[in-house]
């Protein structure tokens, strides 16, 4: 666990793998709860926003894709790729927002995991759903990439 995280990210940890795109887009974090739930989070900055000052749709979809893997991490047990992803935007947020995601595994087959979730900001009555998402993640054998 990354113990240097504080404030709104206290209790979250960063994924220790190597993913250049997520490293560039994030940073993103996750927290595993005692009841098995996983929550993901990031702190929105101006670099995550579009020209209108709102979080870029591609940023929210990238975060949702990251969340698919965090939510499914206990059953994926190794390399996997997203083979299907759907989303619906429902509200906007801007820089300074603390953005989180939650979700669940809908089905786990021999080679694929079906998941769904929500990206949101705020808590309680102030919570706003920013994005609904669902996806299918396929387990793959790790192979070296061709040059």
Give the model confidence (pLDDT) of 75-111 as tens digits: 998 889 999 999 999 999 999 999 999 999 999 998 9
**Do 144 and 94 form a contact (C-beta atoms < 8 A)?**
no
For 9, the token pair is 């990210």
Look up the pTM and report it: 0.89
Per-residue pLDDT reduced to its tens digit, 22-67:
777 779 999 999 998 999 999 999 999 999 999 999 999 999 999 9
All domains of the chain in start order, with CATH: 7-139 (3.10.129.10)
């Amino acid at each position: 666990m990354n113990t240097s995280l504080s404030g709104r990210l206290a209790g979250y940890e960063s994924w220790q793998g190597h993913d250049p795109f997520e490293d560039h887009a994030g940073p993103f974090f996750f927290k595993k709860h005692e009841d098995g739930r996983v929550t993901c989070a990031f702190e929105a900055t101006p670099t995550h926003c579009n020209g209108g000052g709102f979080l870029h749709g591609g940023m929210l979809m990238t975060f949702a894709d990251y969340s698919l893997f965090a939510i499914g991490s206990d059953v994926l047990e190794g390399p996997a790729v997203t083979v299907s992803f759907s989303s619906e935007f429902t509200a906007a947020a801007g820089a300074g927002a603390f953005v989180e995601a939650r979700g669940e595994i809908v089905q786990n087959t021999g080679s694929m995991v079906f998941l769904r979730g929500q990206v949101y900001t705020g808590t309680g009555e102030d919570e706003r759903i920013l994005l609904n998402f669902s996806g299918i993640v396929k387990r793959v054998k790790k192979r070296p990439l061709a040059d």
